[in-house]
Amino acid sequence: MTKRFASLFGAIAVLAALAPAPVAAQPESVLRVAMTAGDIPLTAGIPDQGFEGWRFVGYSLYDALVSWDLSRSDVAADIKPGLATGWHVDPANSRRWIFELRHGVKFHDGSPFTAADVVWNFDRFTKESAPQFNARQFAFARGYLGSFESIEAVDEFTIAITTKQPDSLLPYNMSFLMLVSPRRSAEVGNDADAFARNPSGTGPYRFSRMVPGERLELVKNTEYWDTARIPHHDRLVLLPMPEASTRTAALLSGQVDWIEAPAPDAIPRLRSSRMQIVTNAYPHNWAYQLNFVDGPFRDVRVRRAANYALNRPDFKELLGGVALEAYANLPPSTPYYGHPVRYEFDPARARALLTEAGCLPCKITLAISTSGSGQMQPLPMNELVKSQLEAAGFEVTLDVMDWNALLQVGRDGREKHQNVDGLNISRSLQDPFNGMMRFVWTQQFAPRGSNWGHYRSEEMDALINRALATFEPAPRLALLTQIHEKMSEEAVMLWVVHDLNPRAMSPRVRGFVQAQSWFQDLTPITMAPR
Amino acid sequence: MFSYILRRLLAAIPIALGVSMVCFALVYLAPGDPIQTLLPPDADAETVDRLKRLYGLDRPLPIQYLSWLARVAVGDFGRSIATGRPVAEEIRRSLGNTVLLASVSVLIAFSIAFVMGTIAGRRAGSWIDRIVTGIAVLGVSLPNYWLGIVLVIIFAVELMALPASGMAGERFDPTSWEHLQFLVLPVFTLSMIPVGIIARTTRSAVSEVMNQEFIVTLRANGLPEWRVLRHALKNALPPVLAVMGLQFGTLMGGSILVETVFAWPGSGYLLSKAILTRDIPVLQGTILVLALIFVATNLIVDLFQSTLDPRIRRG
C-alpha cells in the first residue's frame, strides 16, 4: 500500500514538474481558536461576550476611528490611528474634537468609507428615532459615550465630536466603537439579525460563514487598508467552548490550535505536550472596591491595614503562577504607574493600624461571587483573603452570591447595601478613565457610575478635571500618574492580583506577540505545516 | 381509544401552561435579568433602565407573561434576547442535534440493557446476575460529566482516536466516519445512566414474572424454555416500557452536563446558555417544547403499554 502511494506520489511529482505553469495549490492555512465564551460573539458591530468578543470578532471584522497598537509585548498597549488618521481638539473650543478620516478605505461590500458613515454609525448608537438605531448597540456603546454630546460631518473626510465637558480621553473611548457598513445595513432593511448573518465592516477579516452557537469562520481581507496587517493565514475559525477542560482536551487532541484561559492546573500537562503557554500582564485587577461611607473602611488606616495584611505571593502560588502580585491599582508596566506606595506583607503593621483606628477586631463583610468573567478562582482566593485578613485582626464575613447578583450590588452602589464593606468585582483597566477615574470621581457615584463606595476627595476631583482638560500628552501623563499615586496612598481598594491572561497554543502557531492588553492582534500569525 | 388520546392531548395543555408559568416565575425569582447579561458589567443603572424599556422588560410580569403567551399561541416564539435570532430557529437546530444524540443513545442503551436485564432476571442470584447488577449500579452512580471528561482524556487526548468535542458541521452525514466519530463518546457517556436504570428495571420485572405460577404451568405443559421466556417477557415488558419512555424523555431534554462537556450544540447546551444569560424567550420556548415532547413520549408509551397489556387500558 505504502509503495503504491509512494509511486503515485512520485508520478504526481513528475507530472507537477512537467506542468507548464506550476501553480502550487497551497493548502489553506487555518487558525482555529477556542474561546471561553458560551456563544459566538455578536457580529453586527460592537460585539457582546465581554472583551473576548472585541478581541476575536470586533477588531477582526471591524475597525474603530482609533485602534490599539498591539504589536509589542514589552509595554502596555496604547491607542494609535485607526479609521481616523489623526485627531486634535478644536483650538477655539476645548469641547470639540476634530477627527481626520482615512482616505481610500472600503467596507467589505465595496462601499467607500466617509464622514457620513461615521455620523450614520453614531446615530445607530445614540438616536432612538433613526431607522438604524439598535438597542443592543446603544447598550454597548453607552459606556463609551458618557461625555458625548453631538457629532457632525465637517467635510467628506472630517468629523467633529462635541462633548459635554472637556474630555481629553475621548480618543480612548472612540477605540471601542465599531463602525459597520451603512450600505449593507440598508440592504437588509436595518435588521440587526440579518446584518449579523452577513456583516460588512472594514476590518482585516471578512465574514465567511457562521453556524450559530457553534462556529464563526472569517477569511483574510486581502484588500485591507493597513497592508502591514493583512492576515498571514487564510482563515480564522472561532469556536465557543465555555468549559475549560473541554478547551484543554480540544487543544491536546488537535481539534483547535489555540485556547483561551486554560485552567491553571492544566498548564503543566499542556507544557508536557509541547504546547506553548503564553502569558503577559494586562490591564486587569482582582481587587475589592470599598465602602467609604458606612463601615470601617471610612478610615484610611483600616484600608491601609487591609492592604498590608495580604501576602500576595501566596495568591500567585494558589493560581499556579499565572498572576502578578497587585500592590497598586495598575500593573507596573502602565505608563502612568508612577511610584505608588508598595503594600508589602506586614501583618504587625496592619494590626497596629487597626489598633490606632480603634477597630480591633475589625468586622467587615465582603460581597463576592462564585464565578464570573475575570473573577479567576473567586472561592479559594476569597478564602485565602479572609484567612490572611483575620490573621491581622479583621473579622471577615463573606457574602457569597451569584455573579449577576453581585453585578447588581455593584450597580446599585453602597446606598442600598450599607452592610457591605467591600465588593469583589474584577475590572478592566484598559484606559485612564476606566482604569482609575471612574472609581474615585464624585461624578461617577453609583448608581450613575462605577464609584461604588462613594469615595469623595476634592483634591482627587480637581486632579481628574485637570487631566480631562489637559490635551498635551506629557502634562496629562504627569496628572494621570498623580491620580494613580494618590489612589494608592489613599488605599482606595484592597488590591490582590493582576491576571496574566494565560493562553495555550499548538507548536504550529508562529509569530504571535502577546500584547499587554485585553485585545490581541491575530493577523501576524502563520501556521506551520503539520 | 380515540377519545382517550384526545383527552390526554388536552391534558397536556394545562401541563404546558403550568410548566411555562413556573419557569417564567423562576427566572424572575433568580437574581439578575437578561438585561444584566446584555450589558457590560460596568453599565450604569440609567442605561439598564433605558434598555429594559426598549426590550419591554419594564412592564409588570403578568403582562409580560400574557403577551408572550399570546404570541406563542399563534406560533411566534419571539427572538432571543442574547443573540437576536428567532427562538423557533434556535430550538429547531439544537433539538435536531439532541434528537440525533438521544435516539442513538436510546437505541443502544435500550437494547443492551434489555438483554442484560433479561439474562440477569432469569438467573436471579447467579454470578451473571451479580455482574449485571454491578454494571447497572455503576452506570447509575457514575456522574456522567465526570465519565465524559475521563473518556475525553483517554480517547481524545491520550490515544487521539476520537474528537474531544463538538460536531462535524451543519449537516450530519450518517454515512461518513468523519461525522460519526463525533457521536461515539457523547453517546457512550449518555447511555450509561439509562443502561443502568433499564437493566435494573428489566431484571426485577423478569425475575418477578419468572416466579409467578403461570410460568410453572407453562413449564409443566412442556413448553420449550424459549417460549416460556417469550411469555415471561411479554408480561415483564409494560413496566420496562414505562421506564424506557421516561428515560427517552429525559435524554430528549438533553443532558445539560454531557452536552456541555462535549460542546454538543443540542437543547441541553442551549438551555444552559439560556439560563446563564437569563435569556427568557429562549428558556421559555425550549422548556415548553421539551415539556410537550415529554408529554407526547409518555402518551406514546402508554398507548404501547395498553396494546401490550389490555389490563392497563384506560378509558
Q: Based on the fold, state whether residues A441 and A353 are members of the same structural domain.
A: yes
The confidence score (pLDDT) of residue B253 equals 66
Contact between B254 and B98 under an 8 Å Cβ cutoff? The reply is yes
Q: Which CATH number fits domain B87-314: 1.20.1250.20, 1.10.3720.10, 3.40.50.2300, 3.30.70.1400?
A: 1.10.3720.10
Please tell me which of A112-121, B30-39, B104-113 the model is most confident about, judged by mean pLDDT. Answer: A112-121
Tens digits of per-residue pLDDT, B146-171?
888 888 888 887 888 888 777 766 66
Chain B hits for A138, Cβ within 8 Å: 50-51, 54
- Cβ separation of B43 and A139 shorter than 8 Å? yes
Cα separation, A254 vs A38, in Å, equals: 21
CATH of the domain at A338: 3.10.105.10
- Tell me: do A131 and A67 sit in the same domain: yes
Interface of B with A in 126-185 (CB under 8 A): 149, 152-153, 156-157, 160, 163-167, 169-170
Out of A152, A187, A222, a domain closes at A187
Name every chain B residue with its beta carbon within 8 A of the beta carbon of A129.
none
Q: What is the pTM of this model?
A: 0.82
Say yes or no: A385 and A494 in one domain: yes
Distance CA A235, CA A207 (A): 10
Q: Is residue A125 part of a domain?
A: yes
| B29 CB within 8 Å of a chain A CB | no
**Other Cβ atoms within 10 Å of A165 Cβ, number:** 12
Final residue belonging to a domain, choices A141, A162, A187: A187
Residue A213 and residue A183 share a domain: no
Total domain count for chain A? Answer: 3
Please give the Cα distance from B189 to B152 (Å, whole number).
10
State whether A121 and A252 are in the same domain. no
Task: Please choose, from the candidates A124, A173, A121, the residue with its C-alpha nearest in 3D space to the C-alpha of residue A147.
Answer: A173
d(CA A460, CA A384): 32
CB contact under 8 A, B261 and A243: yes
CB B75 within 8 A of CB B92: no
Contact A405 B31 (CB under 8 A): yes
Do the Cβ atoms of B308 and B241 come closer than 8 Å? yes
In this structure, the strands spanning A526-527 and A509-510 are: antiparallel
| CA distance to A520, B69, B75, per residue, from B13 (Å) | 52, 12, 15
Does the residue A344 lie in any domain?
A: yes
Residue A402 and residue B32: Cβ atoms within 8 Å? yes
Q: Which residues numbered 424-443 in A keep a CB inside 8 Å of some CB on B?
A: 425, 427-428, 434, 438
Structural domain includes residue A304? yes
Strands A394-401 and A362-369: parallel
Instruction: Spell out the SS3 assignment of B156-218.
Output: HHHCCCCCCCCCCCCCCCCCCHHHHHHHHHHHHHHHHHHHHHHHHHHHHHHHHHHCCHHHHHH
Residues A425 and A528 in one domain: no
User: What local confidence, expressed as pLDDT, does residue A124 receive?
Assistant: 95
CA dist B92 and A88 (Å) reads: 52
Q: Strand runs (DSSP E) across A241-336, as ranges?
A: 258-260, 276-278, 284-290, 323-325
Say whether both A161 and A139 belong to one domain: yes
- Output phi, psi for A135, to 5 deg: -60, -40
Chain A, chain B: beta-carbon pairs less than 8 Å apart: 147
Match 502563520 to its residue by C-alpha cell.
A526
Residue A289 in contact with residue A439, Cβ under 8 Å?
yes
The residue assigned the cell 450589558 is B39
Identify the closest residue of chain B to A374 by CA–CA distance: B41
Per-residue pLDDT of B215-228, as tens digits, reads 888 888 888 888 88
| Residue A220 host element (H or E) | strand A215-220
Query: Which residues are within 8 A (CB) of A407 and not within 5 positions of it... i.e. 6 or more apart?
Result: A372, A425, B32, B36, B41
- How far apart, in whole angstroms, are the C-alpha atoms of residue A401 and residue A410? 12
A114 and A75 in a common domain: yes
As a whole-number percent, the residues of chain B with pLDDT over 90 amount to 0
pLDDT value at residue A25: 61
Residues of A in contact with B164 (CB under 8 A): 246, 249-250, 252-253, 255
- My answer on whether A254 and A307 are in the same domain is no
- For residue A110, the domain's CATH number is 3.90.76.10
Decide if A243 and B260 are in contact by the 8 Å CB cutoff: yes
Restricting to A residues 235-274, those with a Cβ less than 8 Å away from any Cβ of B are 239-243, 245-246, 249-250, 252-255
Residue A249 lies in a domain: yes
A246 and A103: one domain?
A: no
B170-228, pLDDT tens digit by residue?
667 777 787 788 888 889 988 888 888 888 888 888 888 888 888 888 888 888 888 88
Same domain as A228, residue A327:
no
Find, in chain A, the residue whose alpha carbon is nearest to that of B45.
A447
A7 belongs to a structural domain: no
Average pLDDT, 10 consecutive residues per value, chain A (530 residues): 44 43 68 89 88 92 96 90 96 95 96 96 94 88 89 96 94 94 95 92 96 90 95 95 85 92 87 91 92 96 97 93 93 93 96 96 94 82 96 96 83 92 91 93 89 96 95 94 97 95 93 91 92
A197-218 burial: b if 16+ Cβ within 10 Å, else e:
eebbbbbbbbbeebebbbbbbb
Last residue of a domain, one of A142, A162, A187: A187
| Ordered alpha helix ranges (H), A419-509 | 432, 438-440, 458-468, 473-489
Residue range(s) defining the domain that contains residue A277: 28-40+203-281+501-530
| Substitution target from A33, A245, A274, A431 for chain B, most B beta carbons within 10 A | A245
CB pair distance less than 8 Å for A140 and B40: yes
- What is the predicted ipTM? 0.72
Do A95 and A224 sit in the same domain of this protein?
no
Confidence band (pLDDT; 50, 70, 90) for B46? confident
Closest residue to A249, CB basis, from B35, B51, B153: B153
> Between residues 300 and 339 of chain A, which touch chain B (CB distance below 8 Å)?
none
